[in-house]
């Protein structure tokens, strides 16, 4: 059964055609998520919207409890996550208003819990392909249907923030071959992988980061102006992508996102202990129960 989690800014949960919408409080062994989760149905598909920074945008990127957010979505039965994220552009041919279905990340964050597995159970999952190609194809196709072209693939640098980058950093990330820059998708993508949830970022460009000679340095007011326009197109994109994702989901993910723990846990059953077993009831319940 498909349930699509949508992590993103406010306004996204006003999709036309939603039914049975209600806010739900979810507590987790990792603490409290950024906000309540808005559950609804779109046709036959279950959706769960989580405002990443809280509804009033009071949680900064370093303060987000990423583990609680992903655990809460897993607990609600989410199988697939669309991360709808504002970002800066590191490429001349991605002006504000461009959308990118990200396929790689560079992680420059340094102050965030990045694994569910610790204190009694250790796991090592692959992050070689951090997003799910099946979801990527669905959002690219939905972009074609809604008149918002979505570039198929691109590298997203995650910085710690909350400050924007220096010019030296921005030029460095361009040399590294990254196309977009934001503050939140790591460790979110890592944790979704550990929780066996397919994950796909839709990066929505709000500004040319500060490398661009002809643009002003990044300013929140300018970012918000573009963000509002992007949000309208993001809603249409999600509304078209959701049924495609539900239809394309076979019993299991063809890329194996939903089975990564079969081969990842290194601590043998007899050595597993501490608080880990109880804490991992949702994230690793599939493998721990069997
Ligand atoms: C509003 S500018 C900076 C802010 O925007 C992005 O948020 P999100 O990824 O949640 O869409 C970026 O990562 C920063 O947190
Ligand atoms: N230039 C930028 N850098 C980091 N995060 C962003 N979010 C939106 N624009 C950004």
ipTM of the complex: 0.98
- Domain assignment present for residue 225? The answer is no
Q: How far is the CA of 223 from the centre of ligand 2 (A)?
A: 8
The protein residue whose alpha carbon is closest to atom 1 in ligand 2 is: 88
Ligand nearest to the CA of 212: 2
* Residue 12 included in any domain: yes
Q: For atom 13 of ligand 1, which residue has the closest CA?
A: 183
Please indicate if the annotation marks 192 as binding a ligand: no
Average model confidence (pLDDT) for the chain? Answer: 94
From ligand 1's centre to the CA of 183, what distance in Å? 6
Q: Does residue 238 form part of some domain?
A: no
Say what the pLDDT of residue 201 is.
Answer: 98
**Residue 207 labeled ligand binder:** yes
Atom of ligand 2 lying closest to residue 209 CA: 1
- Chain center to CA of 183: 11
Question: Has residue 10 got a pLDDT over 80?
Answer: no
Count structural domains, the chain: 1
What is the CA(121)–ligand 1 centre distance, in A?
Answer: 32
Predicted pLDDT at 229: 87
Please tell me the distance from the alpha carbon of residue 103 to that of residue 112, in angstroms, as a whole number.
Answer: 22
Closest residue (by CA) to atom 2 of ligand 2?
A: 88
Domain residue limits at 204: 3-115+129-219
Mean pLDDT of 260-273: 94
290 falls in which pLDDT band (50, 70, 90)?
Answer: low
In short, whether 180's Cβ falls inside 6 Å of ligand 2 is no
Position 228 in a domain: no
Number of neighbours of residue 259 by Cβ within 10 angstroms = 14
| Residue 111 covered by a domain | yes
Give the model confidence (pLDDT) of 211-233 as tens digits.
998 777 778 888 888 888 899 89
Whole-number Å distance, alpha carbon 86 to ligand 2 midpoint, is 7
Inside any domain, residue 271:
no
Give the CATH number for residue 145: 3.40.50.1580
Task: Give pLDDT, residue 17.
Answer: 86
Q: Does 10 count as an annotated binding residue?
A: yes
Which is more confidently placed, 224 or 46? 46
Average pLDDT over residues 44-56: 94
31/33 Cα distance (integer angstroms):
7
Q: Judge whether 166 lies within some domain.
A: yes
Look at 58-72, 124-138, 267-281 and tell me which has the smallest mean pLDDT. 267-281
Please indicate, yes or no, if residue 73 is contained in any of the structural domains.
Answer: yes
Tell me which residue has its CA closest to atom 15 in ligand 1.
183
pLDDT for position 215:
75
């Amino acid at each position: 059964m498909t349930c699509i989690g949508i992590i993103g800014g406010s306004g996204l949960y006003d999709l036309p055609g939603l039914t049975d919408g209600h806010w739900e409080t979810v507590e987790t062994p990792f603490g409290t998520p950024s906000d309540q989760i808005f559950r609804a149905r779109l046709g036959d598909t279950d959706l769960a919207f989580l405002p990443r920074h809280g509804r009033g945008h009071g949680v900064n990127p370093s303060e987000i409890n990423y583990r609680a957010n992903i655990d809460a979505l897993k607990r609600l039965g989410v199988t697939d996550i669309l991360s709808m994220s504002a970002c800066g552009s590191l490429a001349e041919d991605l002006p504000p208003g461009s959308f990118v279905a990200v396929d790689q990340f560079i992680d420059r964050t340094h102050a965030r819990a990045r694994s569910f597995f610790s204190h009694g159970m250790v796991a090592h999952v692959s992050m070689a392909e951090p997003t799910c190609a099946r979801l990527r194809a669905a959002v690219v196709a939905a972009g074609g249907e809604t008149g918002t072209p979505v570039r198929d693939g691109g590298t997203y640098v995650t910085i710690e923030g909350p400050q924007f980058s220096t010019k030296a950093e921005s030029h460095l990330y361009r040399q590294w071959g990254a196309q977009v820059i934001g503050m939140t998708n790591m460790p979110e993508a890592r944790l979704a992988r550990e929780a066996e949830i397919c994950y796909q970022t839709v990066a929505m460009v709000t500004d040319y980061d500060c490398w661009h000679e002809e643009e002003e340095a990044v300013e929140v007011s300018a970012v918000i102006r573009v963000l509002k326009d992007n949000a309208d197109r993001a809603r249409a994109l999600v509304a078209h992508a959701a049924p495609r994702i539900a239809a394309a989901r076979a019993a299991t993910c063809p890329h194996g996102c939903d089975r990564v723990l079969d081969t990842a846990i290194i601590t043998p059953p007899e050595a597993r202990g501490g608080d880990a077993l109880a804490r991992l009831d949702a994230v690793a319940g599939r493998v721990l129960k069997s």
